[in-house]
């Protein structure tokens, strides 16, 4: 299966369980891997035969910067489901959602979830 990647998209949102996360907000980084057949797009040079990256970015931004959720697991599920619903050419979608600065004591680079969802 062919793939489209959108890497290291950064957004500012208010997702989290702790009060300071929903009050102050924080950065979120999203990596997307979209699996679909790109052969026809490559042969025809027709945008209708692929997925418009700008539309994927805007949908991701709306979800990440929109309504707050407690869990990044929920945000990742919502994003994957929304992408699959909006873009019929996508067969599978992998969402990696990274919180680079969660308010957790300790030494680490980030926390993240990664999910892969497809058409049923």
Contact 9, 30 (CB under 8 A): yes
Catalytic residue, from 74, 89, 99, 105: name it. 99
- Is 74 in the active site? no
The Cα–Cα gap between 75 and 80 comes to: 9
Using the Cα atoms of residue 28, residue 31, residue 35 and residue 39 in order, give the sign of their dihedral. positive
The catalytic site residues sit at: 99
């Amino acid at each position: 299966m062919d793939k489209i990647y959108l890497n290291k998209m950064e957004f500012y949102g208010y997702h989290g369980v702790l009060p300071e996360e929903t009050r102050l907000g924080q950065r979120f980084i999203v990596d997307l891997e979209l699996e679909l057949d790109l052969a026809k797009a490559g042969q025809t040079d027709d945008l209708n035969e692929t997925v418009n990256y700008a539309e994927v970015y805007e949908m991701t931004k709306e979800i990440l910067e929109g309504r707050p959720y407690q869990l990044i697991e929920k945000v990742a599920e919502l994003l994957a489901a929304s992408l699959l619903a909006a873009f019929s050419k996508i067969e599978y979608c992998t969402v990696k959602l990274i919180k680079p600065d969660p308010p957790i004591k300790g030494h680490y680079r980030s926390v993240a979830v990664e999910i892969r969802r497809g058409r049923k």
